[in-house]
Structure 1
Amino acid sequence: MAKAGDMIGNDSIGTHTMRKTFGYTYYQATKDVATLMEIFNHSSQKMTLRYIGITEESIENSIRNISFY
C-alpha cells in the first residue's frame, strides 16, 4: 500500500489507512458499531467510533434527524 501511495505521490497511504477506511465505510453502510468493535478488537464502542472518525456531533445529528412520524 505504501508503495502504491509513493507511486502517486501520496506518502500517507498504508495498510492502516485501509483499515480505517474499511471501518468508516462499514459503519456508514450498516451503523453496526458493535460488530465493528469486535472486528477491530476494541474494548468500547466509543473507541471504535473515535478511531473511524465519527464524532459525537455527527452521532447527535443522525439521532436528531430520525423521524418517528
Structure 2
Amino acid sequence: MNKKPHIINVQPISKIQAYRQLQKAGDFANVESIGTHTMRKTFGYWFYKQTKDVAMLQEILNHSTPHIPLKYIGINKEEKDNILDTFQI
C-alpha cells in the first residue's frame, strides 16, 4: 500500500506573533518588560558566557566591532576582571 505523505505547509510565525506569544509567556510568569529583543540579548549573554568567543558573537549579532556585543549583553568590568583573573597561558 503506497500512501502519499501528508505535506504540511509550515510557515515561520511573524515578528508580531512572536512578540504576542512572548508577552503571553511573560504575563503567565509575571515578568514585565519582555520582548523579542530580550531573547536576542539573552542569547548573546549566554552564548558569550559559555564560549567566551567575542568574534563569533560579533558575527552572529552583526555588530561592527568586538566591544559592541560585550556592551550590548551587559558584560561589565567586574565580569571582565574575573575572566582575566582565571585566564592562563
TM range (shorter): 0.7 to 0.9
The answer for unaligned runs of 5 or more in structure 2 is 1-21
Count of residues in Structure 1 that have an aligned counterpart in Structure 2: 68
What secondary structure sits across from 1:12 in the alignment?
A: coil
Q: What letter is aligned with 2:76?
A: T
The structure carrying a bigger helix percent of its residues is: 1
Alignment pair present for 1:13 and 2:34: yes
CA distance in 2, matches of 1:26, 1:36: 7
Runs of 4+ in 1 over 6 A off after TM superposition: none
Identity of aligned residues (%): 53
Aligned residue runs from structure 1 range 40-59, under 5 A: 40-59=61-80
Segments of 5+ residues of structure 1 without an aligned counterpart are: none
What is the alpha-carbon root mean square deviation over aligned residues?
1.5
TM-score, structure 2 length as denominator?
0.66
2:56 maps to a residue whose letter is T
Greater C-alpha radius of gyration: 2
